[in-house]
Structure 1
Amino acid sequence: MKTKGNKKKNHVPIRINALFLSVFFLFSILVLRLGYVQIVKGEEYKRNAYLTENVTTKLDAPRGKMYDSNYSVVVDNEPVFSITYTKTQDVDADERHELAKKLAVMIDKDTKELTERDKKDYFIFLNEKEVESRISKAEEKETPPEELYDLMLEKVTKKDIDSLTGSQLEVLAIKSEMDRGYTLSPQRIKIGATEKEIATISEHLPELEGVDIKPDAERSYPYKDSFRDIFGQVKQIPKSRMDYYTSRGNDRNDLVGTSFLEEQYESLLRGTKTKIKYVTDKTGNPVGDPVEEDGARGSDLVLTVDMSLQKEVEKVVEEKLKDAIRGKNAYDNKELDSAYVVMMDPNTGAILSMAAKEYDRKTGKFKDIPFGNIYHSYAMGSTVKGATVLTGLHEGVISPNTVIYDAPLTFGDGRPLKSHENMGPVDAVEALERSSNVYMWHIAMRLAGYDYSNKQFNEHRVQEAFEILRNSYSQFGLGVPTGIDLPSEATGYNTGMSNELSQAMFFSIGQFDTYTPMQMAQYVSTIANGGLRMQPHLLKEVREPSKDPNKLGKLLYRFEPNILNKIEMSPQEIEVVQRGFYEVMHGNNGTAAWMFKNKDYNPAGKTGTAEIDKATGVVNKTLVGYAPYENPEVALAVVVPNIKEGNTNSEIAEGALDAYFSMKKEGIPSKPDSENKEVKEPR
């Protein structure tokens, strides 16, 4: 019995020892594992512990190109280098300011975009305590905390702003760009850095944290200044329109079209952005290298404008203006400084050319102002008489055969109102051919209920006459938007209503309201095509960006002619005005027959003169027309404001039409639809 008990006691220590050995072994493994985790993998796990989700930033892709109607490149992308700054969360305003000061020494930065508010903010940034000292205790007490900064802005004077030096403004311009950027999103400080700037920045990159040099693209213009204003500008989003663009999904540091075609077709021209994906720690600093996803260039636009024709018309305008300003009539034409031409297809509304020149008398040079055709308005004179005749026909106050005796009219004050000559009996066609004011005045008087033979009103409807004329004119596009595919346009000046019969009469001969050259081109196109008011347009096609720079991409969209309205007048009534316009350029008494009668392209049209200053004799001279008469393919409007002597309007019209039909004879290039068609170099 005793021996058995001893055997049982001997088993207990063995089991305890085994247990201890097992525990010791497990602890050893745990210690080793902890050592491995902490010593070998410690930094990696520590870094992973601080990681947040991926952060994605974007870079603009190259914009789509623009081509003219013959597929010559007119707006391209030129490879350049940009100085960029990538902001991180741990960099404050003072540090960015110090960095901006360093950059200002190395690069030239334009300061023209700085606003008064920018300068006030910067003055406060530099002189915060001084500005705060200008606020009295009473003002500080009465002002809510959230409005104190506005009060500080009020304390910054013009003298304070003017005290900022050119170097300080350059620093401000750089810092402003740095401040507008998103965290981890490269913000352009300067586009198109020079070789010297690139070399200097590259040499000092280690001390310029966040600064980099990146390949970029800048708009280039093979035809230089020709039509450039209508192509538009590409800039960073203006502060005044930041809310507009960000609400549409743009980033604050985007480059966008800010005017004309670049703005109108921003959604097409803007490419798919390159995406840069970062992994950041909790402080917002990137960990590891970013991953890039390539973007794509924007769609290409093909325009309706023929740049070869545009250049020829610009040349004509400049030559004829130069003759009028510097030639034998120089003294009389001392107020003359500009001229405008719009050429369009009356059947489709396609703008073929939109030329305008302005003469600077100080420098003796001309500059292109094509935007004047849609923004500048003038009294157009007798060119609107076609609309007056059609209004009279439609309202029944005249018929196609109505004859009116053209002789001076007299009213209560005894002063005669007359045409440029006493014409005797004229019908509607001859009234247009010879530009009878008296005929148009009788139309206006009849619309107003005035019987000239009895010198009295049957019904006093002067304001109604205004309404009838103005509403009728609007059917042709006069006094209303033309609908051209640009962000905005002028509609001329509506002078309002009047109870004076004489004012309604002046309205009927184009000396009351004002219109733009584009409105006049739409007006004459409506007469030329038989009564359809077509939307003027600059866009012809949209194409995919091609991988081959010498080929066109796939056709995505083609603009279809858009009829805005059909005028109420009958084809027979429209034909009366068309015949009148034909006689203007072919009849024995036609006001423009001396220049156009023998042209083989058989034009029709109407000249006009609007009196501007009776004392000096300064007038606006205009001309609208189309050709050929039987089958119109081109319509034009010419406006020469503030001229006294000469026929510059007719000379410009002749030169523009001659250029169009001469180029047509030379042969118009075929119209490619395939992706394999070659892109043409500018001629």
Structure 2
Amino acid sequence: MNQPIQLKKNRKQMKKKKSQIPLRLNILFIVIFLIFSLLIVQLGIVQILNGEEAQRQINATENTPSEKPVPRGKMYDNNYNIIVDNKPVKAITYTPPKNGESAKKRLELAEDLAKFVTVIKDKEELKEKITERDKKEYYYLLNNEEIQERLTEEESTLEGGELYQAQLDAITEADLETISWTDELLNMLAIKKELDAAYQLSPHVVVNEGITEEEYAQVAEHLSELPNIDVVVDWEREYNYEDTFRSFLGNISSSNEGIPRENSEFYLANGYTWNDRVGTSGLEQQYEHVLRGRKEKTQFTTDTQGNVIDSEIVAEGERGKDLVLTINMELQEEMDRIVEEELRAAINNSGNNNGYLEDAQAVIMNPQTGEILGMSAVHYDREKKEYSVQGHRTVYDSHMPGSSMKGATVLTGYATGVIDIGTYLDESGIKIAGTKEIKSHAYLGSALNDLQALEKSSNAYMMRIALRLSGASYVRDQPLRNFDFNSFQTMRNHYEQFGLGTKTGIDLPFEASGVIGTNPQAGNLLHLSFGQYDAYTTLQLAQYVSTIANDGYRVRPRLVKEIRDPVSTEGEIGPVVDSFEPEVLNKVGVDDKYIKRVQEGFRRVYTSGTAAGQWRGFPYPMAGKTGTAENPQYVVENGKVVRTTMTHNLTLVGYAPYDNPEMAFAVVVPKNGTSSSRNPIHHNIGKRITEAYFDLKNGKQQDNDEDDEE
């Protein structure tokens, strides 16, 4: 009885539970639906309102830095007059995207940019700029499918550059004639050529020279239509003294030349980019690490296609540090004028020169500090009949100096013990069997001592020092016996103590070390002893005489006196970062009494010796040495020497005042005529540059005295 009743109750409960399950499911479905709806709405909001920014963040690639070069440091002379400055110029640049850009994209960009700017204004220059290859590359971009079909089966298997070259070779002259090469089209190709030369994320100057204000403004206005193009203020070097001292100041590469490709690994390892301008010669190259400055660093944000979508300057740039040179530009200008005037006068004196005279050179330096005060060289181009200042010849060209280096020979004799103070030697000529007699320039007496040998410029005295040094037994007109060939090196080792035959150490990227003879015959040792075998630069001669003037201390010559921090205020100069003290390279290995002895001999040269006639009455007490070296000139026809003309290298070294030297000089005039007495160009230059130095010094001192009185 109770069982049926219980079953009935169970059925009712089950029905009730079943009716509750669909309700819960419905509620669950509704909740899920609402959640999905909210997600869809949120996604829609993100897509509609923030989609561009979200996609930008998704696609963005950080850590894409770029460095913008800054203006280089300036150069000043020793009176703080600006020699080299920076001139701002407007420029248009192109910065390729990170992942590169196709040639067709660059072509399209060039077409757009060409609407606003002309890269090369001169039409003839523009035509020369665009080569046949440039035209073929343009034709290929327009007809690449057709060109592909022209390739042979073998050519089609080529890859890279070989395939591309084969494609260009398939383009004919007739193909190129189908295009009208207008000035507008050539301009566009010139622009594309610059775009093609750019490196990734390194701003490349498309045009700066000759860009007009209107062109600059037009490009600036349409930058949104010219991806990766920018308008900037670029800079160029400005030389306030034009060509004066120009060859020593040096050159820099253009922004489009960039770093030298042969040394690219070095520059890239030191933080340079491909388009950075660097010094390529002279002081610009020597002090590149100082002049380059600190580049402005920009952090670029790029998308996955490499397009720049944002940038931020993370480090401000600072232009390079400034150089203060040892050179006085007023003195340098005067030296150039003097050297050219005297060279012109000598060349115009047709009775005295044999048509070979082309050069005159001079160097002034402070013998105690090594500071170069002026370096001048003037060259005459006989074909063009033009004179030009080529100062670098004082450092690069080598010439036999003649007797001007006899002070080094006498000191070598003292150092090796083959002579002493007051030693007399036979003045007769030297004749070795089978050779011509070698003797002094005139009869100077039967025997001379060391002072007289310098004063009168005896060749015989120097040769007998060389013979004693060689250990040879000399009998007139007989072969030399027991000649020690090591005596060549012994003599040269002593010469190097004065800077002869070795680099002076000047702060330039290159200097010649002279020309050293390679034929170790006894006769050549004799010629070496009086300056007619090895050849030296004018700078080496200046260091040599400075060493004697400076009591035997050889000082490194310098062109840079100070390095200073840059300042932005016009007319002011920054604080000193580094200054260069005199650097003694060596002390000549002889007792001081021997240096004094040679100094006395050099004084006598100017007061009673070979220079006395030219320098008599000169207002400043001088010391030094004259020199004349035979310099044969050969006329060659059909590979044979048909005529030999003898010319003379004229040299002069000196310093003043002789008792407390503050300036020393060397003058070299190669290939002069055979009569220096009729045209003493080396003496004329020496006197005039010495006067110019003291006039400038005394004038400056007078100005300072007047300022003190005020």
Q: State the alpha-carbon separation in 2 of the partners of residues 668 and 445 from structure 1.
A: 50
Q: Who wins on radius of gyration, i.e. which is larger?
A: 2
1:675 is matched with none
Query: Structure 1 410/565 Cα, relative in aligned 2: closer, same or farther at 3 Å?
Result: same
Query: Structure 1 90/491 Cα, relative in aligned 2: closer, same or farther at 3 Å?
Result: closer
1:194 is matched with 211
Q: State the Cα distance separating 1:504 from its structure 2 match.
A: 1.0
| 1:258-298: CA deviation from partner (whole Å, max 9, x where unpaired) | 11111111111111111222211111112245557431111
- Quick check: 1:49 aligned with 2:49? no
Query: Structure 1 72/516 Cα, relative in aligned 2: closer, same or farther at 3 Å?
Result: same
| 1:303-336: CA deviation from partner (whole Å, max 9, x where unpaired) | 111111111111111111111112x346625211
Q: State the alpha-carbon separation in 1 of the partners of residues 450 and 672 from structure 2.
A: 29
Q: State the alpha-carbon separation in 2 of the partners of residues 232 and 565 from structure 1.
A: 29
| 1:466-522: CA deviation from partner (whole Å, max 9, x where unpaired) | 1221111111111111111111111111111323x2211111111111111111111
- Quick check: 1:639 aligned with 2:668? yes
SS in 1 for 2:400: coil
Q: State the alpha-carbon separation in 2 of the partners of residues 626 and 284 from structure 1.
A: 66
| 1:46-101: CA deviation from partner (whole Å, max 9, x where unpaired) | 22221122422111011111111111111111111123112123522344356568
2:527 is matched with 506
- Quick check: 1:585 aligned with 2:597? no
Asked if the contact 1:317–1:339 (Cα under 8 Å) also holds between the matched residues in 2, the reply is yes
1:222 is matched with 240
Asked if the contact 2:622–2:658 (Cα under 8 Å) also holds between the matched residues in 1, the reply is yes
SS in 2 for 1:189: strand
SS in 1 for 2:571: coil
2:681 is matched with 648
Query: Structure 1 90/316 Cα, relative in aligned 2: closer, same or farther at 3 Å?
Result: closer
1:621 is matched with 650
SS in 1 for 2:561: strand
1:605 is matched with 624
Query: Structure 1 61/415 Cα, relative in aligned 2: closer, same or farther at 3 Å?
Result: closer
Give, as a single letter, the amino acid of the residue that structure 1 aligns with 2:415. Answer: H
Query: Structure 1 433/127 Cα, relative in aligned 2: closer, same or farther at 3 Å?
Result: farther
Give, as a single letter, the amino acid of the residue that structure 2 aligns with 1:575. Answer: K
1:183 is matched with 200
SS in 2 for 1:616: strand
- Quick check: 1:664 aligned with 2:687? no
SS in 1 for 2:578: strand
SS in 2 for 1:463: coil
- Quick check: 1:594 aligned with 2:600? no
Q: State the Cα distance separating 1:103 from its structure 2 match.
A: 5.1
Asked if the contact 2:473–2:481 (Cα under 8 Å) also holds between the matched residues in 1, the reply is no
Q: State the alpha-carbon separation in 1 of the partners of residues 467 and 150 from structure 2.
A: 69
Q: State the Cα distance separating 1:557 from its structure 2 match.
A: 0.5
Q: Which runs of no fewer than 5 residues in structure 1 stay unpaired?
A: 672-683
Moved more, 201-210 or 503-512: 201-210
2:101 is matched with 91
Q: State the alpha-carbon separation in 2 of the partners of residues 575 and 137 from structure 1.
A: 86
Q: Which runs of no fewer than 5 residues in structure 2 stay unpaired?
A: 634-643, 705-710
TM-score of the superposed pair, with normalisation by structure 1: 0.86
Give, as a single letter, the amino acid of the residue that structure 2 aligns with 1:584. Answer: V
Q: State the Cα distance separating 1:120 from its structure 2 match.
A: 9.9
Asked if the contact 1:385–1:508 (Cα under 8 Å) also holds between the matched residues in 2, the reply is yes
Query: Structure 1 421/95 Cα, relative in aligned 2: closer, same or farther at 3 Å?
Result: same
Query: Structure 1 594/247 Cα, relative in aligned 2: closer, same or farther at 3 Å?
Result: same
Asked if the contact 2:432–2:478 (Cα under 8 Å) also holds between the matched residues in 1, the reply is no
Give, as a single letter, the amino acid of the residue that structure 2 aligns with 1:516. Answer: T
Q: Percent identity?
A: 41
Asked if the contact 1:87–1:210 (Cα under 8 Å) also holds between the matched residues in 2, the reply is yes
Q: State the Cα distance separating 1:30 from its structure 2 match.
A: 2.9
Query: Structure 1 41/593 Cα, relative in aligned 2: closer, same or farther at 3 Å?
Result: same
Q: State the alpha-carbon separation in 2 of the partners of residues 385 and 584 from structure 1.
A: 12
After superposition, residues 194-273 of structure 1 pair within 5 angstroms as 194-195=211-212, 198=216, 209-235=227-253, 236-273=258-295
Query: Structure 1 148/37 Cα, relative in aligned 2: closer, same or farther at 3 Å?
Result: closer
After superposition, residues 231-630 of structure 1 pair within 5 angstroms as 231-235=249-253, 236-288=258-310, 291=313, 293-326=315-348, 328-329=349-350, 332-413=353-434, 415-424=436-445, 425-453=447-475, 459-499=481-521, 501-587=522-608, 590-613=609-632, 615-630=644-659
Moved more, 412-421 or 384-393: 412-421
- Quick check: 1:75 aligned with 2:87? no
Q: State the Cα distance separating 1:372 from its structure 2 match.
A: 0.8
Moved more, 50-59 or 38-47: 38-47
Asked if the contact 2:279–2:288 (Cα under 8 Å) also holds between the matched residues in 1, the reply is yes
Moved more, 359-368 or 662-671: 662-671
Asked if the contact 1:180–1:252 (Cα under 8 Å) also holds between the matched residues in 2, the reply is no
Give, as a single letter, the amino acid of the residue that structure 1 aligns with 2:699. Answer: E
Q: State the Cα distance separating 1:452 from its structure 2 match.
A: 3.7
Kindly tell me the number of residue pairs found equivalent between the two proteins: 657
Q: State the alpha-carbon separation in 1 of the partners of residues 610 and 150 from structure 2.
A: 72
Q: State the alpha-carbon separation in 1 of the partners of residues 694 and 590 from structure 2.
A: 31
Query: Structure 1 132/22 Cα, relative in aligned 2: closer, same or farther at 3 Å?
Result: closer
TM-score of the superposed pair, with normalisation by structure 2: 0.83
Q: State the alpha-carbon separation in 1 of the partners of residues 203 and 104 from structure 2.
A: 19
Give, as a single letter, the amino acid of the residue that structure 2 aligns with 1:431. Answer: A
Query: Structure 1 249/288 Cα, relative in aligned 2: closer, same or farther at 3 Å?
Result: closer
Query: Structure 1 18/3 Cα, relative in aligned 2: closer, same or farther at 3 Å?
Result: farther
Asked if the contact 1:82–1:193 (Cα under 8 Å) also holds between the matched residues in 2, the reply is no
SS in 2 for 1:253: coil
Q: State the alpha-carbon separation in 2 of the partners of residues 122 and 16 from structure 1.
A: 75
Q: State the Cα distance separating 1:122 from its structure 2 match.
A: 5.7
